[in-house]
Amino acid sequence: MDDRKELKENVILSWVRLTGILKNTRLTQGMIYNEAVVMLLVNRKYKEDGEGLVSFKDIVRETKMLKSLVNRTIDSLVGKGLLIRCDGEADRRTTYVRPVTENLASYLQVHKHSLEMVDRIIEIIGVEDAGAFVRLTNKLVDSDFSND
């Protein structure tokens, strides 16, 4: 097998092994994965601006989830009292969500568990490799290679 082909096979194998670990360790224990992903985006925005207003379109773009799945996920989070749907001030056609701040503690407990798992990952691979992982992952996501 030539070096390039072997490298490609190793990338696929590493990808499968990593996703298997992430799936089986339940990075988001206590919350459905898709809910935790949406809440991560909303909470991050909330920490940035104190409001946490995120558009439906931004959630779809950032998560790469199907629109119907994002809609169901948002419905579930609204039903759990974690999000509120609202119209945008600039464009009424765009739907936004924002966190119900008094209920953020339940999400933050799930997120705390995720952060503890990530601490363990950083202990294993080191800060430098963790930074490289973030840079490489962002490079792949930003390239939008999945839509080739």
For position 2, what pLDDT does the model report?
84
Q: CA–CA separation, 57 vs 89, rounded Å? A: 15
Task: Report yes or no: 40 and 82 within 8 Å, Cβ to Cβ.
Answer: no
pTM beyond 0.85: no
Listed in sequence order, the DSSP H helices in the chain are: 3-24, 33-49, 56-63, 67-79, 104-143
Rounded to 5 degrees, what are φ and ψ at 51? -115, -45
- Domain parsing of the chain, residue ranges: 3-147
CATH for the stretch 3-147:
1.10.10.10
pLDDT (tens, 9 = 90+) of the chain, 148 residues, equals 589 899 999 988 988 888 777 666 666 677 888 898 999 999 999 999 999 999 999 999 998 899 999 999 999 999 999 999 998 766 667 889 999 999 999 899 888 988 888 899 899 999 999 999 999 988 988 887 666 5
